[in-house]
Amino acid sequence: MPPKRIKTKKRAAKDRKPKRKVCSFCVEKIDDLDYKDAPRLRKYVSERGKILPRRISGNCARHQRALTDAVKRARVIALMPFAAD
């Protein structure tokens, strides 16, 4: 009879799902994202100038769409750069 396999810590940690990130805009109860609020928008843009995806930023779908529109508007009126230097 073969020996029983014992679950190790390494395997147990692999089976767990990471904790779901919470939308910071929902927590702060922000309904409208303002494109003029560049410091808040910079938090959701990478150092290369790309908008961070939902799975990384933790935003809900509604706020991620609003964030994308706000960042694009801020870029057009030169509050934020299109790309890094």
Residue spans of the domains in the chain: they are 34-85
pLDDT tens figures, 15-25: 777 777 899 99
Measured CA to CA, the distance from residue 19 to residue 22 in angstroms comes to 9
Measured CA to CA, the distance from residue 64 to residue 2 in angstroms comes to 53
pLDDT tens figures, 22-80: 999 999 999 889 999 999 999 999 999 999 999 999 999 999 999 999 999 999 999 99
CATH number for the domain formed by residue range(s) 34-85: 4.10.640.10
Neighbours of 30 (CB within 10 A): 15
Report pTM: 0.76
